Amino acid sequence: MPIAFLGALALLATRTCSSEVASVDIRLVFGDAGAQTRSLQVEVFRGDDREALAEYKQTFDQDGATKPLLWKVQLDPGMYILEFRVRHAGTTRQFKKSIKAVNDATISVDLEPHLQAKRRPPE
C-alpha cells in the first residue's frame, strides 16, 4: 500500500509541475547593429542559482544577424535573468536583462543598444 501511495503522489506532483510551466517566446531583436554580429549565446538563470535553466547559441555568417530570432523556452512562471555573450564588431559584449515569464508570452529583447559602439565623451 505505501508504494502505491508514493507512486500516486509522484504522478500528482509531475502533473502539477507540468501544468505550471510557462511557454515563453523570446524575440531577440538586433536592429542595424546585427550586421556586425557573429555569434550569440544566451543563458537563463533564476535568482542567485548559477545553474542555467536554458541556453541558446547561434553563429552568423558575414551578413550577421539580419532579422530577429525567436527562441521558445519552457519556464516556471516568475522572474529570470538572461545573460548574453555576443561576438560583435571584433569584440565580445556581455550584458544581462531581466524578464518575467508568463504562459504564452512573447518577450522582445532589444539588443541594439548593447551592441552599438561605445562613444567617447566629447573633449
Kind plus residue range of the DSSP H or E element containing 11? helix 2-19
- In CATH, what number is assigned to the domain containing residue 70? 2.60.40.10
pLDDT at 116: 84
Write down the pTM of the prediction: 0.78
Count: domains in the chain? 1
pLDDT at 118: 61
pLDDT at 20: 83
The average pLDDT across 36-57 equals 95
Residue 3 within any structural domain of the chain: no
Per-residue confidence band for 78, with pLDDT thresholds at 50, 70 and 90: very high
pLDDT at 15: 41
Largest CA-CA distance found in the chain, in angstroms, rounded: 80
Per-residue confidence band for 107, with pLDDT thresholds at 50, 70 and 90: very high
Task: Return the C-alpha cell found at 63.
Answer: 551578413
The average pLDDT across 110-118 equals 86
CB-neighbour burial class of residue 121 (10 A; exposed 0-12, middle 13-18, buried 19+) = exposed
Judged against a pLDDT cut of 80, whether residue 40 lies above it is answered with: yes
Enumerate the H helices of 21-71 as residue ranges. Answer: none
Residue 45 within any structural domain of the chain: yes
The residue range of the domain holding 78 is 21-115
Rounded to whole angstroms, the Cα distance separating 6 from 24 reads: 32
